[in-house]
Amino acid sequence: MIIKAVNGKSPAFGNDCYIAENATIVGEVSMGDHCSVWFNAVIRGDVNYIKMGHKVNIQDGAVIHCTYQKYPTIIGNNVSVGHNAIVHGCTIHDNVLVGMGAIIMDNCVVESNSIIAAGAVVTQNTHVEAGTIYAGVPAKKVKDISQELISGEIDRIANNYVMYSGWFKE
């Protein structure tokens, strides 16, 4: 793994986190407890800060970055960022699933209990309301989310990634 300070700012990790051997985490990055960063994921806090809450998983190949002198990236608790997703200079609240290959651009806000569908492109300055599913290019609201999806998908995936990370810890 590459964990590196940039401009005197180093990544900081909570308790019981798992970082894959080929993940890259640089600069001003902080993460809470029970987080996981998977194979080939990149979290680059070089041009602004990245703050992640508890029980966040950054899946294989995902990129988390921010915007120089403008937008940090803030990720809440119980968030799953799917394989090859890009999360850039935005705010993601609690209990959110970012689908595989999705892109969330600068100055977006994704409120709690939401799903960004696989392959969606959430364009700059978009505000995703709480309890909704956004899909498409550009991403638009497709429906309100059910309580079953919140517990059946958002919570299940976040909890599974805590379990999976336990398989890799020595």
Q: Is the per-residue pLDDT at 123 higher than 80? A: yes
Q: What is the mean pLDDT of the chain?
A: 96
For residue range 12-50, what is the model confidence (pLDDT) as tens digits? 999 999 999 999 999 999 999 999 999 999 999 999 999
Ordered by where they begin, the domains of the chain are 2-168 (2.160.10.10)
For residue range 72-115, what is the model confidence (pLDDT) as tens digits? 999 999 999 999 999 999 999 999 999 999 999 999 999 999 99
From the CB of residue 69, how many other CB atoms can be counted at a distance below 10 Å?
A: 7
Output the pLDDT for position 169.
Answer: 81
Q: State the Cα–Cα distance between residues 15 and 98, nearest whole angstrom.
A: 23
Output the pLDDT for position 152.
Answer: 85
Q: State the Cα–Cα distance between residues 81 and 137, nearest whole angstrom.
A: 18
Q: Is the per-residue pLDDT at 167 higher than 80? A: yes
Q: State the Cα–Cα distance between residues 13 and 8, nearest whole angstrom.
A: 16
C-alpha to C-alpha distances, 71 to 58, 68, 74, 128, nearest whole angstrom = 19, 7, 9, 17
Output the pLDDT for position 170.
Answer: 66
DSSP states along 119-137 = T-EE-TT-EEPTTEEEETT
Contacts for 13-19: CB closer than 8 Å, 24+ residues apart: 14/54, 17/165, 18/165, 18/166, 18/168, 18/169
